[in-house]
Structure 1
Amino acid sequence: MYLHYSAISDVGRVRRENQDSGYAGPWLLTVCDGVGGAVRGDLASSTAVQALRKLDQEPDDDILGQVAGAVHRADDRIAELVEEDPDLNGTSTTATVALFDGTRFGIGHIGDSRAYLYRRGELRQLTHDHTFVQSLIDEGRITEEQSRTHPHRNLILKALDGVRHEEPDLFEFPAEAGDRIFVCSDGACGTLSHEQMADILSGGTPDFAAVELVRASLEAGSTDNVTCIVADVSDEAPPEDLQPLLVGAAADLPRRMPLGGAVGGLFRGHRSGDTGEIPPVPDDVPPGAYVADPIDPEAARYAPREPSRHPVLRRLLIAAVLLGLAWVVLAAGWSWSQQQFYVDEHDGRVTIFRGVDADLPGLSLSHPYETTDVELDRLSDIDAEAVREGIEADDLDEARLTVDNYAARQDVSPE
């Protein structure tokens, strides 16, 4: 049997850069999602996909061994990057891999990207998320629906980071003609419901389904990058012009190509700016034989922007607004503090202070307001200590009542 496939990645409506990478070929489907917040997640995902795409050739009998080996090599490559540039320490990525041998799929998985199987009208999730919220679901503490809005829904427990060398989940299953495989980043599965995905996957070509899944994810409010790969298992050979597809950060960043290789034309479909078409890795290229594309990274990743007008004036206006806001806040705080009162000691006498019983470096937030004739030396040790520690009052009347109480208890006998 054969795979008819399509792949698309979109940066989304919130993120400035795409940290997803994906690859679809005649034997291999894979999605890697750079972990949000980590250092250069786009570099981690593209590095992992570049290592994993070497699997895109007819597998031998040990299909899971090949998948595991490729995942470990991707992890080792990330470790090499960190060793070469310590500033990349902390970079990491998820990885979901589906390797096809014509009769079965071998799956490797780590993180929260997902693989699904749509077979005979039913959609089944194949992979199990390595996330904090998934552990809560497994324990029965929250539902799948609640996990979509959980404050820690993006907390990954396992990823490829070149440091911890986590073991991926590995399993295989037999393929059937008519099967549809869906591999995606959490920008899609974290937004769309099971029913929505099943409905879109129920019809159309792989290209149509992939585009619709991305569109539906964005319209449903996804704030993440969205990457979707859809592949059909068929008895019929795919069209001769169906080439391997590299999408997302791996296509946007300067690509590491085999020596003597060349990048093909862009995928002429939806959002072609995000989807690149590349040739498979030649069999005669030894591991690690790569050269960098000389295109400047920033020029390759970001479209040119018109310089802003009057930048100095704009900065001055922003600074003036910030200073004005700071002044308003400080004035409001000072006004409030001058309506507060407390009782404390001053020059050996019980004194009513106006302000807050606290000080900032170089700034006193209170001052003596009424000095009384109640002397601390004429109070008991307990009362005197209480005054020295400061006694809060809701208002001036309560402060005066506190002073009157101590005045009544002071020792007035002559020395």
Structure 2
Amino acid sequence: MTLSLDYAALSDIGKRHNNEDSAYAGPHLLLLADGMGGAAAGEVASAAAVQVIRRLDKPGISGEDMIEALAGAVHRANERLSELVEEDPEREGMGSTVTALMFDGVQLGLAHLGDSRAYRMRGGQLQQLSHDHTFVQSLVDEGRISAEEAFTHPHRNLILRVLDGRPDSDPDLEILDVQAGDRLMLCSDGLPDYVSDRQIAASMSDGTPDSVVVELITHALEAQSNDNITCVVADVVETEPVSGTAPQLVGAAAELAQGGTGRGDPTVVVRRGDGDDRLGGAAGHLDPEELRYAPRAPKRFLWLRRLAVLIVALALIGGGGWLAYGWTQKQYYVGTDGDYVAIFKGVDDEIPGLTLSNMYEKQTLQVDKLPTYSREQVEGNIQADDLAAAREIVSELQRTAAECAAKAAKQTPKPTPAPTTPTASGKPPVSTPPKTPITTPVSTPASTPSSTPDGTVNPDDCDGVR
């Protein structure tokens, strides 16, 4: 006889203001999604995931084909979340767990991403089928803490992998055996974070799927669970599926499908016990959903973000370049413009396509009227702190040129007339050219001009004046 599922699903808003859990139970599919993050979009994320993946609840998919079908459905759900964020950027950061069991009458196909859980009760033994993608589970896997310590760890709500619209949101996939008498259960973390495996096993060991989901949620509420609590329970039975059995949709997916907001009344009203927060200490004041999963660098709209970064970088470069150019236009130096000394505004440098200096004042001082040392300085440009300093340099150069010119005038020899002696004959005297004394040239070593503080030379060093 073909195996079939007898199922029930229930969701409670718990102590929260809205229900971000969504779940679905049908003849061929059990599915649970726990939404989180974003601008009040956790319920949107979980509902979208369930609405896409629930389409797998149909006959004709079996064996290894279930794995391919589950993988494709999860990826399509991931793409749907990406589309929702593009439609409303305020949803950036939303995500959802996904735990699904696909049933073909012989085997189960498991797809899992996040920290919602899948359990199987067989022969009185409770077995967790899924593996949590959480920080504390990674510590348990590494042997750094025990499973008991993970149950009370202050960061047990930190989830590392979720369905969030990013391309690396790949689920765990597995084929599982199934047999008559098995009891399957999917739940959001609002149950196992507050109810022990021992108590879960005790509740699942008896009763119908309908009574079990109520009992499990009641235990979570009495344990002061401050999260939404959602459970799907299904018995594997040796009976033909009842024709026309209606699938069950609960939580945010059901409310949004009916035009709600995901913020309605609890699915079932049960008495809540009073007591202190089980987290205790500073961690007890933190809302676990605020630390639901580790933030990751956004990967959506990469081209837009890169363009924005490029624009900012160009703006900074442009702004810095403009400030640098403004600084150059406050600088002055003394140089040459053809044969004359001139004052230039800017800096003596070149950038392709940009002029960094212009002649500001052309002087009447000729360059060749300066001694060699001063001329070389001017031709190499003399930097000045400001315009006044540049004009002072020009004044010193003019003074040097004037003093060198005066010194040269004093050293120029004047011709001496030859003396005349009258002769006895009364004839005019014969002019005898003066004898030029023969001198031996003495080689004098060239002296280096001594410069004044402004870069000009002392008037004693006037060599090279033309």
TM-score > 0.5 by shorter chain: yes
Cα separation, 1, equivalents of 2:135 and 2:47: 25
Deviations 1:98-153 (A, max 9, x none): 00000000000000000001011111000000000111111122222222332211
CA contact (8 A) 1:75 1:165 kept: no
Deviation at 1:83, TM superposition (A): 1.2
* Alpha-carbon separation, structure 2, partners of 1:63 and 1:164: 22
The alignment's TM-score, normalised by the length of structure 2, stands at 0.54
Contact 2:38 2:90 in 1 (8 A): no
Distance 1:140-1:37 versus aligned 2 partners, 3 A rule:
farther
Instruction: Name 1:301's counterpart in structure 2.
Output: 263
Per-residue CA deviations over 1:146-174 (Å, capped at 9, x if unaligned) read 22332211111000000243211010111
Counterpart selection for 2:134 from 127, 131, 156: 131
Question: 2:30: which partner in 1?
Answer: 29
Alpha-carbon distance in 1 for matches of 2:37, 2:224: 17
Deviation at 1:194?
Answer: 1.0
Aligned to 2:195: 192
Aligned to 2:13: 11
* Two-structure CA RMSD over aligned residues (Å): 1.6
Question: Residues of 2 paired with 1:4 and 1:207: CA distance?
Answer: 10
SS in 1 for 2:19: coil
Cα–Cα, structure 1 residues 97 and 301, in superposed 2: closer, same or farther, change >3 Å?
Answer: same
Q: CA deviation at 1:37?
A: 6.7
Contact 2:107 2:177 in 1 (8 A): yes
SS at match of 1:233: strand
Q: Which residue of 1 aligns with 2:153?
A: 150
Is 1:250 equivalent to 2:212 in the alignment?
A: no
**Residue 41 of structure 1 aligns to which amino acid in structure 2?**
G
Query: What is the CA deviation profile of residues 161-207 of structure 1, one whole-angstrom value per residue up to 9, with x for unaligned ones?
Result: 00243211010111101011011100111111111111111111111
- SS of the equivalent of 1:301 reads coil
Distance 2:84 2:139 in 1: 34
The equivalent of 2:54 in structure 1 is: 53
CA contact (8 A) 1:28 1:98 kept: yes
In the TM superposition, what are the counterparts of 1:152-191 in structure 2 within 5 Å? 152-191=155-194
Specify the alignment match of 1:86 in structure 2: 89
Flag structure 1 segments of 5+ consecutive residues without an equivalent. Answer: 256-292, 304-415
In structure 1, C-alpha distance between the alignment counterparts of 2:18 and 2:263, rounded to whole Å: 8
1:103 matched to 2:115? The reply is no
DSSP 3-state at the match of 1:176: coil
Q: Secondary structure at the match of 2:36?
A: coil
1:209 paired residue among 209, 212, 236 = 212
**Is the CA contact 2:17–2:263 (under 8 Å) kept in the aligned structure 1?**
no
- Greater displacement, 181-190 / 145-154: 145-154
Provide the aligned length of Structure 1 versus Structure 2: 261
Alignment-mate amino acid for residue 55 of structure 2: K
Q: Which one-letter code corresponds to 2:73 in the other structure?
A: A
* Offset of residue 229 of structure 1: 0.4
Q: Are 1:67 and 2:70 counterparts? A: yes
Query: Percent identity among equivalent residues?
Result: 52
**Structure having the higher Rg:** 2
Residue deviations 1:367-406 (CA, integer Å, cap 9, x gap): xxxxxxxxxxxxxxxxxxxxxxxxxxxxxxxxxxxxxxxx
How far apart, CA to CA, are the structure 2 residues paired with 1:65 and 1:39? 32
